[in-house]
């Protein structure tokens, strides 16, 4: 024990700062931890030496005693009383990495709970697009989405696994999220392909984003998984256009239908439906069918279906059609209260 040079074990000089000792220890501990080198006895022994050295040099009081008296006064390894917590011969990787990403925090071994885990590095979120047919979007559906996500990590050298880097600006030292790893402290080392079933609720539209919890990249150091975000893209419909929870459908009708009224078949989200047209309908008039629209997202209510009636004027007609229309026009002009008759009367008076 007395012959050990703890500075040499960590590969640092005797005048190394506390911060240099900490950074060096983190790199070496992450590299040689037995959980990352299972079955490698040399790595396990190296890791024990590293921890033994850090437990002395990482404590200012112990370091002072070591610098004065050497290692003879320290027995039983890096922790007082010999060995490491739990009798494993080395600390948990969980505890070790918790210290990497949460410097300055203190916690006892008995307080390892969900609250402490929440401070660890969350996995990155994944974003995917999902293209839906119009009917799938308004009625709801289930879809399978294939994703590729991280399942293991390697430490980021740019920030030494901290997730943050320090830089000087004048007299100030400023910390910011590491640009290399995005503040995670590590990079994905291995990935996996996964198929996720997406339950699309009725009423989604282009731009709707669904969040599926815990289906993103696996968290680092037992941290929570990231989330999967699905952005919806809805295809156009051959008959309907959408205005929030309402739909609009344009239906062509003939001149006789507009004049005398009648019944026509129209498309709805639930299939074919019959619409009664009142007599004397005007061009562009809109009829409203309540509750025949789209289900309001996250609600039990429904929008409405608006039917816009377009009167179609034929560009070509047969001789018989022309004769009938001329007779019809003569009948209209006989009615003095008809708007057209009233207009013709005003024109006649204007020029007389």
Residues 220 and 263 occupy one common structural domain: no
120 belongs to a structural domain: no
Residues 191 and 210 occupy one common structural domain: yes
Residues 22 and 43 occupy one common structural domain: yes
Is the pTM higher than 0.85?
Answer: no
Residues 289 and 256 occupy one common structural domain: yes
257 belongs to a structural domain: yes
Secondary structure (3-state) at 206: coil
H or E element: which one contains 139? helix 134-139
As a whole number of angstroms, the distance between CA 309 and CA 254 comes to 10
- CATH label of the domain that carries residue 250: 2.60.260.20
96 belongs to a structural domain: no
262 belongs to a structural domain: yes
Residues 19-28: contacts with CB within 8 Å, 24+ apart? 21/54, 21/57, 21/58, 22/58, 23/160, 25/50, 25/53, 25/54, 25/58, 26/100, 26/160, 26/161, 27/155, 27/160, 27/161
Total of domains in the chain: 4
**Where among 181, 208, 234 does a domain terminate?**
234
User: Tokens 């590729």, residue?
Assistant: 148
Neighbours of 320 (CB within 10 A): 8
Q: How confident is the model at residue 109, as a pLDDT?
A: 35
109 belongs to a structural domain: no
Which residues are paired to 32 by β-bridges?
none
Residues 230 and 245 occupy one common structural domain: no
Interaxial angle between packed helices 319-334 and 339-351, expressed in degrees from 0 to 180 and rounded to the nearest 10: 70
111 belongs to a structural domain: no
> Domain of 134?
126-234
As a whole number of angstroms, the distance between CA 173 and CA 1 comes to 40
**Where among 185, 206, 234 does a domain terminate?**
234
Q: Is the dihedral of CA 72, 73, 77, 81 positive or negative?
A: positive
User: pLDDT 10s per residue in the chain (352 long)?
Assistant: 445 788 898 999 888 888 888 888 888 887 887 767 777 888 888 888 888 888 888 888 888 878 877 766 555 444 443 344 333 444 555 445 544 444 433 333 333 333 333 346 788 899 999 999 999 999 999 999 999 998 888 888 888 877 788 776 555 567 777 877 777 777 888 889 999 999 999 999 999 999 999 999 888 777 889 999 999 999 999 889 999 999 999 999 988 888 888 899 988 988 888 899 998 888 888 999 999 999 998 888 999 999 999 998 888 889 998 898 888 888 777 776 777 777 777 777 777 6
Q: How many CA atoms lie within 13 A of 58 on its CB side?
A: 15
**Where among 204, 234, 264 does a domain terminate?**
234
As a whole number of angstroms, the distance between CA 67 and CA 61 comes to 10
Contact at 8 Å (CB) between 30 and 43? no
Residues 166 and 182 occupy one common structural domain: yes
Cα angle, residue 265 at apex, residues 262 and 268 outer, rounded to 5°: 135
3-state secondary structure 80-122: CCCCCHHHCCCCCHHHHHHHHHCCCCCCCHHHCCHHHHCCCCC
Q: How confident is the model at residue 45, as a pLDDT?
A: 85
- CATH label of the domain that carries residue 57: 1.10.287.110
Which residues are paired to 277 by β-bridges?
262
Residues 166 and 215 occupy one common structural domain: yes
Residues 280 and 326 occupy one common structural domain: no
188 belongs to a structural domain: yes
Residues 131 and 227 occupy one common structural domain: yes
Q: How confident is the model at residue 286, as a pLDDT?
A: 92
Contact at 8 Å (CB) between 89 and 53? no
Secondary structure (3-state) at 264: strand
Residues 141 and 222 occupy one common structural domain: yes
Q: How confident is the model at residue 102, as a pLDDT?
A: 43
Residues 205 and 293 occupy one common structural domain: no
Residues 230 and 264 occupy one common structural domain: no
317 belongs to a structural domain: no
């Amino acid at each position: 024990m007395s012959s050990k040079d703890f500075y040499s074990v960590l590969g640092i000089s005797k005048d190394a700062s506390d911060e240099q000792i900490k950074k060096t220890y983190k790199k070496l501990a992450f590299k040689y931890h037995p959980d990352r080198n299972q079955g490698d006895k040399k790595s396990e022994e190296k890791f024990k030496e590293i921890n033994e050295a850090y437990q002395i040099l990482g404590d200012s009081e112990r370091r002072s005693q070591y610098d004065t008296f050497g290692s003879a006064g320290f027995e039983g390894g890096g922790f007082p009383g010999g060995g490491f917590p739990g009798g494993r011969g080395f600390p948990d990787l969980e505890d070790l990495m918790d210290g990497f990403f949460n410097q300055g925090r203190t916690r006892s071994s008995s307080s390892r709970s969900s609250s402490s885990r929440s401070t660890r590095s969350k996995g990155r979120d994944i974003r995917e697009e999902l293209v839906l047919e119009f009917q799938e979007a308004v009625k709801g559906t289930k879809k399978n989405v294939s994703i590729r996500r991280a399942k293991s990590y390697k430490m980021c050298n740019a920030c030494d696994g901290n997730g943050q880097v320090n830089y000087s600006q004048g007299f100030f030292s400023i910390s910011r999220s590491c640009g290399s790893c995005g503040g995670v402290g590590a990079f994905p080392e291995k990935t996996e392909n996964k198929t996720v079933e997406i339950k699309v609720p009725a009423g989604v539209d282009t731009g709707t984003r669904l969040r599926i919890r815990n289906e993103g990249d696996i968290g680092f150091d037992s941290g929570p998984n990231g989330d999967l975000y699905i952005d919806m893209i809805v295809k156009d419909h051959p008959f309907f256009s959408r205005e929030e929870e309402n739909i609009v459908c344009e239906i062509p009708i003939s001149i006789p239908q507009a004049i005398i009224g009648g019944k026509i078949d129209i498309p709805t989200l639930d299939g074919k439906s019959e619409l009664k047209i009142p007599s004397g309908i005007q061009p562009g008039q809109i009829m409203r069918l309540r509750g025949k629209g789209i289900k309001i997202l996250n609600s039990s209510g429904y929008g409405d279906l608006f039917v816009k009636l377009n009167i179609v004027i034929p560009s070509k007609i047969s001789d018989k059609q022309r004769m009938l229309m001329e007779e019809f026009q003569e009948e209209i002009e006989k009615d003095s209260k008809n708007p057209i008759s009233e207009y013709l009367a005003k024109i006649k008076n204007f020029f007389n």
